[in-house]
């Protein structure tokens, strides 16, 4: 074979490899850049600084999907705290993690004829008839994690839905797995098809993993959050038997999954800082922060600013009472790892941005625009 022919043959054989490896390298470098961005301390407050003066004497009912869920419970605590600052009354009802429980709590809320009802991690589509009935009676309805996007609903009479961008949250969680593994992920993803926002997150996490040519998406598992206490122990054992050391990362739409995964990992002899590494795309529970701090069966959480969201809910409700538009504010996604757990409220085992948001809201409510 001539030298020229050999060169051409070598080039034809190597070109696919040359094309593939830079693409994988680019995916990993992009993931690392994104992780660096979402782990930085929060910048100064970039939310609303103008709005209507707080009206007096309003009553809010906060209906929690499940008070065992640290996210839903934490937002309710923020709502109660902020409402006290403007002299409003807040009542909290617990949906107890079931469809019937959520329906009962919402019907009870409507019957009490409040000025506003907040859906605390309740899927709006699931409770569409109750939402429509509340609006028919002149009750303002607001959501927290009630559908997959922040802002008003295009389908139901919901003034606004408060959440960080779930696609950015999911991207942050999955990008860390890609970055931390240098593109060698073997991932299992946990979701809950009861919730629109959960499906949006799990789909987005899967897309990030699949975009990495050297990563493997082993399985997407649909398991109800309401049943994780009973399902996760055996499910974890089954996954370890099925995938063994190939399962290097577990991604979930909620920290609650890992509350009940950790004991089974320990029983299997896996150390707290071993594999699979667990990363949550929300909500940032106190227990999750403790696990990350101690290096015990969770390495990251893209936590929601629960207290801030509670304060934002009161501000958005006040805008609704004053016949104004929603503020449009969306808090940025923020990934907590052992390396940054001491900033932005992490020492308190919660995500509470150190950006002066309470002062800004209090100024709006006391003085108005």
Per DSSP bridges, beta strands 249-252 and 186-191 are parallel
- What would the pLDDT profile of 131-146 be if each residue is shown by its tens digit? 999 999 999 999 999 9
- What are the per-10-residue average pLDDT scores of the chain (369 residues)? 45 43 74 96 91 97 92 95 98 96 98 98 96 98 95 96 95 98 97 93 97 97 92 96 97 94 94 97 90 96 95 98 97 94 80 93 88
282: left (phi over 0), alpha (psi -120 to 50) or beta: left
Please give the model's pTM, rounded to 2 decimal places: 0.86
Give yes or no for a contact between 316 and 159, defined as CB atoms under 8 angstroms apart. Answer: yes
Torsion angle in degrees (nearest 10) through CA of 64, 193, 247, 288: -10
pLDDT of residue 24: 59
Structure tokens belonging to residue 216: 């493997």
Residues 6+ apart with CB under 8 A from 126: 99, 102, 194
What distances in angstroms separate CA 320 from CA 156, 214, 252, 326, one per listed residue? 15, 49, 34, 7
* 8 Å CB contact between 187 and 250: yes
Q: 111 has which bridge partners?
A: none
pLDDT at 134: 98
pLDDT for 16? 47
What 8-state DSSP symbol labels residue 194?
T
The structure tokens listed for 320 are 């609704």
In the chain, what are the domains? 28-42+166-302 (3.40.50.2300), 59-163+306-326 (3.40.50.2300)
Sheet architecture: strand order including 186-191:
216-222, 186-191, 249-252, 277-280, 300-302, 335-336
Between CA 285 and CA 291 the distance in angstroms is: 10
């Amino acid at each position: 074979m001539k030298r020229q022919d050999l060169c051409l043959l070598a080039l034809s054989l190597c070109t696919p490899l040359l094309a593939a490896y830079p693409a994988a390298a680019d995916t990993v470098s992009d993931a690392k850049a994104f992780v660096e961005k979402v782990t930085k301390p929060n910048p100064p407050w970039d939310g609303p600084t103008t709005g209507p003066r707080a009206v007096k004497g309003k009553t809010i009912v906060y209906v929690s999907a499940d008070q065992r869920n640290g996210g839903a419970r934490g937002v309710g605590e923020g709502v109660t705290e902020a409402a006290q600052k403007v002299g409003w009354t807040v009542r909290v009802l617990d949906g107890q993690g079931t469809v019937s429980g959520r329906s009962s709590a919402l019907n009870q809320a409507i019957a009490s004829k409040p000025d506003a009802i907040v859906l605390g991690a309740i899927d709006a589509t699931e409770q569409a008839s109750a939402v429509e009935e509340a609006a028919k009676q002149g009750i303002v309805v607001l959501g927290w994690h009630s559908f997959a996007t922040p802002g008003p609903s295009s389908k139901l009479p919901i003034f606004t839905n408060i959440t960080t961008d779930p696609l950015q949250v999911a991207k942050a969680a999955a990008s860390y797995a890609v970055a931390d593994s240098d593109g060698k992920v073997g991932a299992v993803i946990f979701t809950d098809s009861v919730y629109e926002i959960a499906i949006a997150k799990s789909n987005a996490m899967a897309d990030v993993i699949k975009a990495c040519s050297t990563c493997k998406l082993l399985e997407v598992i649909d398991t109800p959050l309401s049943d994780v206490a009973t399902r996760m122990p055996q499910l974890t054992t089954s996954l370890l038997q099925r995938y063994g050391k190939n399962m290097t990362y577990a991604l979930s739409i909620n920290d609650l999954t890992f509350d009940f995964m950790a004991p089974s990992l320990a029983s299997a002899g896996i150390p707290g800082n071993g594999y699979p590494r667990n990363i949550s795309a929300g909500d940032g529970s106190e227990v999750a922060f403790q696990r990350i701090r101690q290096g015990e069966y969770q390495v990251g959480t893209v936590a929601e600013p629960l207290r801030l969201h509670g304060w934002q809910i009161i501000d958005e409700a006040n805008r609704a009472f004053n016949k104004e538009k929603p503020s449009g504010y969306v808090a940025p996604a923020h990934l907590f790892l052992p390396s940054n757990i001491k900033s932005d409220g992490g020492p308190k085992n919660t995500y509470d941005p150190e950006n002066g948001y309470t002062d800004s809201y209090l100024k709006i409510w006391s003085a108005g625009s």
